[in-house]
Structure 1
């Protein structure tokens, strides 16, 4: 029982070791480039949490949350001010990925799909109030916002319409990112993975 409690609590610990201090800016860079790439090509996904996923999987939820938060702030200050608003969403995503990974939900392709849905729900729940407060319920992705507009035209409440818009986009985005992170993680040397695991 004691061993189980120690294992459970260890995922929340973060040591500012050289490895972690190197991982966080690397994860921020991956997030930044991936999001800029998606926006530049006007893709129907954001891709801006790939680095957050990898940081959470390697070093735990705290490292992932920090990576996501920093990326949103930097991206907001340099390319898109809108991004800063969603820094809190990235914190939630980092925590969700880290916890799910620690519990074995990134151990197979089938489990990754379930994890992506859970993470999409977390993201949508946090983002929906922000969408409503700042953008009238829209997400900024044209095809998603067309769903929002259609629901509003049919007198469906703004909060439900906004959540539906966000959740549909989040499912697509998080499934793509989750599988990208899953395949990248599986290609990493076991020595690197053990290095971060032993550092917790």
Structure 2
């Protein structure tokens, strides 16, 4: 089965092959330029010596060196400009990379949803704990204080606002206050995996 690593290895291999081909072609261009210089020097020497045989040979060497240079320049353009794979191969690689990346991302979603569900369960437990405290407070207010209005006031006679509508507990840090958002997030995570 193909993995992101095997695709990356394939891509790296293509890049390396292209790089080596460019380096080889550039080296051949250097040789071709040197051959042109050598042929031109031979041509000048043959003219000085008035030696037609050497002149024709130098002219042939020059022509060959110039065609060789032309060939390698064209090859270098191809190597630096033309894509290394076909259009179809390119888009197939993209599709494979996206598919594999999505599969990898899904491996993060599953534990994330599990952790969210743990937090939601803790929130549910926090709600139950708050309700339990409110039940105890209700007993204290109704059965112990007998809803005595004096108990709802401070010693100086002021009405205690927390007691005005009846005793109830509201925690400073209420985990259950995030229940809806967490449940919605967990549902969105689950939908994202579908």
Specify if TM > 0.5.
Answer: no
Instruction: Select the structure of larger CA radius of gyration.
Output: 2
TM-score by length of 1: 0.23
TM-score by length of 2: 0.23
